[in-house]
C-alpha cells in the first residue's frame, strides 16, 4: 500500500494529529525518571540520574543519602575500629564522669589508700581547719570584713604548711553552685563568688554550703533535716544519701518576717531567750510537718541555749562539720 501524505485526511492520520496538537500528557512532557535513581539501588550510593539529582534524592530520603555516602562510611570506620580495640583490651569506653571529686579520689586510689582531706569551716568571725589524719586538732584564724577568698586561702596554706593532704573541702556560709560560692557573703570581704578554690589551693577542692557540710557529718540514714541555729538559720536535708541543699532562712514566716528573723541570733537578742526558745519549737514543728523528716538535727552555736530538744530533734556536734568535710571525699554512697 502506498504511503499517504501527511496532509491527507485519512482515518489513520486524524488521531495522530489530535495527539500532537492537543494537551500533552504528563508522561510525555518530560522523560521518566528511572526507578534505579533510588540511592539504595544505585551502586556506591549515587543516583542513577547523575549528580544533578542528588539534592532531590536527599530531600526525599531525609538525609539518608548523606548517612550512607562513602565519605561518611570512611569517617565512621576508624571510630568503630578504635571502639572495637578498646573493648578488646577490656578498657572503659564510656565518657569520664565530670567534676573534681572523681579526679581527686583517683590519685589516692592509685596508691591504694583513702585520700587525706583538709576540711575548712568558714565563719563570720573565725575560719577553722582540720585534717582527716589528725582528728581533734583544730586550727583557726580570725576573720572579718577584710577577709576575701584569696586572703583566706593564703592564710590557711600558711596555717597548715606542715599538714599533708590530697583534697580540700570548704564549708561556705551561703549558696553554692557549680562547686563555687554563688553569692558574696554578708560578713566577709567581696571576692568569693565564683572563686576557683582548686586552682588557689593547688588541690582538688569541693565547696559545699556550711550547713550541708555539718549535715553530712551528722547523717545516720533515712530522711534527716538539719537546722543550724547561729548568727542566722542554716538548713540542709539528706534523703536516702541524696544531699538536698535548702535555703529556708529567708522564707516568710509570720508578721512579714522570715524564719531567720525569729530563730536567728538577732531575733534572740531582740525578743529574749525565753521567747526565742518558743519560736525554735514552733519553727521546728512547722518544718517537720512540711518536710516529714525521720529526724531533725539542731546544730550551730546557739543550740546550747535550748533547755530541751523539740520532738524528733537531737543536738549536733560542731565537730560534725569537719567529719562532713571528710565524708564529702571518702563516702561514695553520698550523692552531692
**What is the set of domains in the chain, with CATH numbers?**
117-212 (3.30.420.40), 221-316 (3.30.420.40)
- Strand runs (DSSP E) across the chain, as ranges? 117-122, 126-131, 139-142, 167-172, 176-177, 180-181, 205-209, 223-229, 233-239, 242-245, 252-254, 257-258, 295-299, 313-315
Q: Which residues contact 151 (CB under 8 A, 6 or more apart)?
A: 189
Cα–Cα distance list, 148 to 144, 161, 182, 213, 221 (Å) = 9, 20, 15, 21, 36
| pLDDT tens digit sequence for 213-257 | 999 999 999 999 999 999 899 999 999 999 999 989 999 999 899
Residue 28, Ramachandran bin (φ over 0: left; ψ between -120 and 50: alpha; else beta): alpha
Burial class (CB in 10 A: 0-12, 13-18, 19+), 291: middle
Question: pTM, whole model, 2 decimals?
Answer: 0.68
Q: How far apart are CA 64 and CA 67, in angstroms?
A: 5
**φ, ψ dihedrals at 290, nearest 5°:** -80, -40
pLDDT band (50, 70, 90) for residue 92: very low
What is the longest distance spanned by two Cα atoms in the chain?
131
The mean per-residue pLDDT over the stretch 261-286 comes to: 96
pLDDT band (50, 70, 90) for residue 3: very low
pLDDT at 107: 63
pLDDT at 37: 45
The C-alpha angle 121, 127, 129, rounded to 5 degrees, equals 60
| pLDDT tens digit sequence for 142-159 | 998 999 999 999 999 999
The C-alpha angle 122, 167, 97, rounded to 5 degrees, equals 110
pLDDT band (50, 70, 90) for residue 318: confident
| pLDDT tens digit sequence for 56-90 | 444 444 444 444 445 444 445 555 554 444 444 44
Amino acid at each position: 500500500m502506498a504511503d499517504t501524505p501527511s496532509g491527507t485526511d485519512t482515518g489513520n492520520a486524524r488521531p495522530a494529529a489530535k495527539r500532537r496538537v492537543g494537551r500533552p500528557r504528563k508522561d510525555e512532557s518530560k522523560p521518566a525518571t528511572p526507578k534505579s535513581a533510588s540511592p539504595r539501588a544505585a551502586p556506591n550510593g549515587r543516583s542513577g540520574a547523575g549528580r544533578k539529582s542528588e539534592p532531590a534524592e536527599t530531600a526525599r530520603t531525609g538525609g539518608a543519602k548523606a548517612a550512607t555516602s562513602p565519605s561518611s562510611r570512611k569517617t565512621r570506620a576508624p571510630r568503630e575500629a578504635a571502639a572495637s580495640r578498646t573493648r578488646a583490651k577490656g578498657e572503659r569506653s564510656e565518657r569520664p564522669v565530670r567534676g573534681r571529686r572523681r579526679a581527686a579520689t583517683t590519685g589516692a586510689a592509685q596508691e591504694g589508700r583513702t585520700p587525706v582531706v583538709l576540711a575548712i569551716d568558714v565563719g563570720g568571725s573565725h575560719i577553722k581547719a582540720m585534717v582527716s589524719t589528725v582528728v581533734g586538732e583544730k586550727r583557726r584564724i580570725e576573720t572579718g570584713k577584710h577577709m576575701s577568698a584569696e586572703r583566706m586561702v593564703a592564710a590557711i596554706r600558711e596555717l597548715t604548711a606542715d599538714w599533708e593532704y590530697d583534697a580540700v573541702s570548704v564549708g561556705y556560709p551561703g549558696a553554692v553552685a557549680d562547686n563555687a560560692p554563688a553569692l558574696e557573703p554578708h560578713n566577709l570581704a567581696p571576692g568569693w563568688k565564683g572563686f576557683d578554690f582548686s586552682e588557689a589551693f593547688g588541690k582538688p577542692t569541693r565547696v559545699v554550703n556550711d550547713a550541708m557540710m555539718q549535715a553530712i557529718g551528722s547523717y545516720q540514714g533515712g530522711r534527716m533535716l538539719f537546722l543550724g541555729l547561729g548568727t542566722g538559720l542554716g538548713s540542709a536535708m539528706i534523703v536516702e544519701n541524696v544531699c538536698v541543699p535548702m535555703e529556708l532562712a529567708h522564707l516568710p514566716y509570720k508578721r512579714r518576717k522570715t524564719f531567720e528573723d525569729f530563730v536567728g541570733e538577732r531575733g534572740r537578742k531582740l525578743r529574749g531567750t525565753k521567747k526565742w526558745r518558743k519560736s525554735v519549737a514552733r519553727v521546728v514543728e512547722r518544718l517537720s510537718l512540711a518536710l516529714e523528716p525521720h529526724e531533725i538535727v539542731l546544730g550551730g552555736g546557739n543550740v546550747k541555749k535550748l533547755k530541751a530538744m523539740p520532738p524528733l530533734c537531737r543536738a549536733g556536734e560542731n565537730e560534725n562539720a569537719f567529719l562532713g568535710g571528710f565524708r564529702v571525699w571518702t563516702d561514695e554512697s553520698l550523692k552531692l
